[in-house]
Amino acid sequence: MIKPHGADALNPLLVTDTEERDRLIAEAAALPSLLLSSAAAANAVMLGGGYFTPLTGYMNVADALSVSQNMHTVDGLFWPVPVLNLANDISGIDGASRIALRDPNVDGEPVIAIMDVDAIEEISAQQKDTMTEQVFGTLDSSHPGVAAFQAQGNQCVSGSIHVLNLSYFASEFAGTFQTAVEIRADIAARGWEKVVAFQTRNPMHLAHEELCRMAMERLKADGVVIHMLLGKLKAGDIPASVRDACIRKMVDLYFPENTVLVSGYGFDMLYAGPREAVLHAVFRQNMGATHLIVGRDHAGVGDFYGPFDAQDIFDEIPDGALEIEIFGADHTAWSRKLNKVVMMREAPDHEPSDYVIVSGTRLREMLGEGITPPPEVARPEVAQILMGHYQAEAN
């Protein structure tokens, strides 16, 4: 199986020994505590599950700036985006060497991790702008990732952590949420060697389904992990529970047995386009995938990135930085000429009218009105689930 990034073995920070976990929970009750931002809590979940191997905790300012500007830490570890714990108010932990970190996304704000504090540093406005512009490619506050990052505090609390739980993901998405450790074990149990990962924050329409099938066939892969984001999205995105139901229905009806693993991970979407695509590659390598599908405008939002920027960035990273390989894909759509889904770049003889394309806005309107989209766009069984969601939202 493919090696984890930067290590011979995964480094999950979740404490799994029951006695040790109970001891740390008891210790946490007496420690100074810090309420995390949602982004920092999501980082804790990813660290806990081994997705962020080989990191041992949150970065300091020097590493965050180095990663933002050069995609590697001060010590030379390749990494595409800062992994930070930014706070507004540090009065409760000032001077403390060991603190409890509380989860803002669970009722009662329970402790999610214990942290050994290496440093508490103030990030200047200039440093924060540098990080923002390098990672997101813009300072425009209309970009949801920029807005979310700039809204976090300017106190950078760095150090290693011991993760005590995986927030709400394991309970709310039981059967879907998996750690990188669990996915590796699942891949091994299935006997897969060549594994394709497909990132999604949306329900999968017919074109997405066919893209997974194309990748598996062309790469001669044993299987595909459809890996959905379960954390916070922007307003208007479809809830994870609905996406999960859609994807599972599609897989059950239209894929052969033991060719697809439906899974999910607990992280807040960054909408960082190219940089987030590289982050996706890092933690997909950590979970055991040998290939990642990177399509048009991967992890993008609005018009902030070019359609293939998220593919081009992989030509810029140092040789050997990652072992996982990229399956670059163009926009896929149903061809009236060929009576199947094709990648547009592979159909040079086609005119726009040769494709069946429904805009996202029109598709949402149709679903909300109870109109089944064309079968060339969406599987009818998937469309039924989505229509139920949009109609419930309207009522």
Delimit the domains of the chain by residue range. 18-170, 175-394
Percent of the chain whose pLDDT exceeds 90:
86
Phi and psi angles of residue 270, each rounded to the nearest 5 degrees, phi first: -95, -30
Give the pLDDT confidence of 38-91 residue by residue, as tens digits: 999 999 999 999 999 999 999 999 999 999 999 999 999 999 999 999 999 999
Catalytically annotated residue among 190, 201, 213, 364:
201
Phi and psi angles of residue 160, each rounded to the nearest 5 degrees, phi first: -80, 155
Catalytically annotated residue among 154, 202, 213, 248:
202
Classify residue 322 as exposed, middle or buried by CB count within 10 Å of its CB (0-12, 13-18, 19+): buried
Q: Which of 104, 101, 117, 118 is nearest to 164 (CA)?
A: 101
DSSP classification of residue 315: G
Collapse the DSSP code of 378 into the 3-class scheme (helix H, G, I; strand E, B; otherwise coil) and give the result: coil
Q: Which residue has the higher pLDDT, 389 or 225?
A: 225
d(CA 121, CA 118): 10
Collapse the DSSP code of 227 into the 3-class scheme (helix H, G, I; strand E, B; otherwise coil) and give the result: strand
Residue-averaged pLDDT of the chain:
94
Query: Parallel, antiparallel, or unpaired for β 86-87 and 223-229?
Result: unpaired
pTM beyond cutoff 0.85:
yes
Active site residue 364: no
Give the pLDDT of residue 235: 67
Which H or E run contains 190?
helix 180-190
Q: Is CATH 3.40.50.620 correct for 175-394?
A: yes
What are the residues whose beta carbons fall under 8 Å from the beta carbon of 368, sequence distance 6 or more? 387, 390, 391, 393, 394
Collapse the DSSP code of 252 into the 3-class scheme (helix H, G, I; strand E, B; otherwise coil) and give the result: helix
Active site residue 201: yes
- Look at residue 359 and tell me whether its pLDDT is greater than 80: no
Collapse the DSSP code of 34 into the 3-class scheme (helix H, G, I; strand E, B; otherwise coil) and give the result: strand
Q: Is CATH 3.10.400.10 correct for 18-170?
A: yes
- Look at residue 218 and tell me whether its pLDDT is greater than 80: yes
Query: How many Cβ atoms sit within 10 Å of the Cβ of residue 272?
Result: 26
DSSP classification of residue 78: B
For range 135-147, the mean pLDDT: 97
For range 335-352, the mean pLDDT: 93
Alpha-helical regions (H) of 35-137: 38-48, 61-70, 125-136
What are the residues whose beta carbons fall under 8 Å from the beta carbon of 323, sequence distance 6 or more? 2, 3, 5, 285, 290
Which H or E run contains 53?
none
d(CA 354, CA 388): 31
